[in-house]
Amino acid sequence: MSTLHELHRPLGSTGFQVSPLGLGTVKLGRDQGVKYPNGFTIPDDAQALALLQQARELGINLIDTAPAYGISEQRLGPLLRGQRDEWVIVSKTGEEFEQGRSHFDFSPAHTRLSVERSLKRLETDRIDLLLVHSDGNDLAVLRETGVYETLAELKREGKILAYGVSGKTVEGGLLALEQGDCAMVTYNLSEQGEKPVLDYAASHAKGILIKKALASGHACLADGVDPVRASFELIFAHPGVSSAIVGTITPAHLAANVATVAAVLQGIR
């Protein structure tokens, strides 16, 4: 069985070694307002626990959640009991999802409240990486709201160990990396506009997490080419990439993704 245990890599200069695949947990907490091609049923606790155990056995140590992912954080707290040091936990601030709709608050007061709430929900004393969940106005969010200054304070207090932005623009990603530790960017077969952010990260030892690596399940190619393999070949050909987040809740998909990434990375080496 292919695993990622021997393929962990640095998350920029944070000091964390992370698996090249991270487990996204939208589907553990939310089934409304999501953009996947097929419907799904949120797994029960037994299924979620089995998925987390499988991820660990496959060498995955990075887990991605957010307040906007419905009840994902609340579920992960109990599910990860006794395993805290086995995981690099990524959460976010800024976006809230209530009554089927997103709204945003990047104020210092909300940022602090959000992080304290995440700590309680996740049953932990620190969040390894905290990302600003941008509404797309990346530069305004970073320059005008005080959110990054608040995250810097929380890092000094030890409540978060690194911070960055999950953004939507090149300019926002670059500013996020200049002043912070990591950026989460969209980079896949059909969207490569944020490549300059990856380039900057590679030359400045900053962390990069890839979202929508498989185009939220929409990745497809013709001519008999495996779209999953082609996606991961593109992503991991770039030296700036730390890890790609995949949000599957299907054990067979998770194992297949891990096997593909292991094959791609061993081929690159």
Does residue 10 contact residue 17 with C-beta atoms inside 8 Å?
A: yes
> Per-residue pLDDT for the chain (269 aa), expressed as one digit of tens each?
689 999 999 999 999 999 999 999 999 998 877 776 677 889 999 999 999 999 999 999 999 999 999 999 999 999 999 999 999 999 999 999 988 889 999 999 999 999 999 999 999 999 999 999 999 999 999 999 999 999 999 999 999 999 999 999 999 999 999 999 999 999 999 999 999 999 999 999 999 999 999 885 656 665 678 889 999 999 999 999 999 999 999 999 999 999 999 999 998 76
Residue linked to tokens 């990745």: 219
Q: Give the residue extent of every domain in the chain.
A: 9-266
Does residue 164 contact residue 184 with C-beta atoms inside 8 Å?
A: yes
| pLDDT for residue 37 | 64
| pLDDT for residue 92 | 98
Query: Which distant-in-sequence residues (6+ apart) come within 8 Å of 18 by Cβ?
Result: 8, 9, 10, 11, 61, 62, 88, 242, 243
Instruction: Point out the catalytic residue in the list 69, 148, 163, 200.
Output: 69
Homologous superfamily assigned to 9-266: NADP-dependent oxidoreductase domain (3.20.20.100)
Quote the CA–CA distance of 195 and 172 in Å, as a whole number.
Answer: 13
In this structure, how many other beta carbons lie within 10 angstroms of the beta carbon of residue 245? 22
Does residue 58 contact residue 258 with C-beta atoms inside 8 Å?
A: yes
Quote the CA–CA distance of 151 and 196 in Å, as a whole number.
Answer: 24
| pLDDT for residue 100 | 84
69 is catalytic: yes
Does residue 164 contact residue 200 with C-beta atoms inside 8 Å?
A: no
pTM: 0.95
